Amino acid sequence: MADEGDILTDLDLDPAAGANGADNQPSVGFLTQYIKDLSVENPNAPASFQWNEAPQVDLQLNIGATEAGDGVHEVEVRVNASAKADSGVLYAVELIYAGLVAVRNVPEDQAHAFLYAEAPRILFPFARAIVADATRDAGFQPLLLDPIDFNALYMQRLQQKAQEEAQAGGAAGDPAGAA
């Protein structure tokens, strides 16, 4: 049996390599990870360093995955963070941190779960560090994002989607539901 290191590094995606049936093992792994986009704004410096009021921090996090090639997907963790006070904006950070993930011989539902729950869980600590460094380098206290349970969010989203589909199916099939 291959050890975990072999699974993550031996991601030969050539379909001919497994033609004899000897290489049908499911495998997933990161090929690379990178900053796709980073923007840091400190629009009111140096005046903002004099403000004494506590800022309101707005944080938005989004996950996305797109197919980048045969068996390779790009997973993105998007973080938008801004701090505003009554006097104005202290900072705004926009980050897209991404990774290329190879997926081979994995059932579709399991691949989907990996791309939208497990891969973001692996990428998030790096994105978290970049945001903390960016806010610190802009002259403010580092913005330390709390850890996120991507698995729970993924399961919650699946349940929400199933409820929406059930409601849409019930409304479409029930003529009394249309008023």
Using one digit for the tens of pLDDT, what is the confidence trace for 85-106?
999 999 999 999 999 999 999 9
For residue 12, what pLDDT is reported?
54
Separation of alpha carbons 153 and 66, rounded Å: 19
For residue 14, what pLDDT is reported?
55
Domain spans of the chain, in order of start: 24-142
Using one digit for the tens of pLDDT, what is the confidence trace for 130-158?
999 999 999 999 999 999 999 999 999 99
What are the residues whose beta carbons fall under 8 Å from the beta carbon of 26, sequence distance 6 or more?
Answer: 104, 105, 106, 110
Q: Structurally, what CATH architecture does the domain formed by 24-142 represent?
A: Roll (3.10)
Q: What are phi and psi of 54, to 5 degrees?
A: -75, 130
For residue 1, what pLDDT is reported?
43
As a whole number, the mean pLDDT across the chain is: 86
Q: What are phi and psi of 83, to 5 degrees?
A: -120, 125
H or E stretch covering 168 = helix 150-173
Tokens of 72: 């390779």
Using one digit for the tens of pLDDT, what is the confidence trace for 114-134?
999 999 999 999 999 999 999
Is 115 in contact with 73 (CB distance < 8 Å)?
Answer: yes
Residue 66, strand partner residues: 74
Using one digit for the tens of pLDDT, what is the confidence trace for 1-33?
444 444 444 555 555 555 444 468 899 999 999
Confidence of residue 169 (pLDDT cuts 50, 70, 90): confident
> Which has the higher per-residue pLDDT, 47 or 178?
47
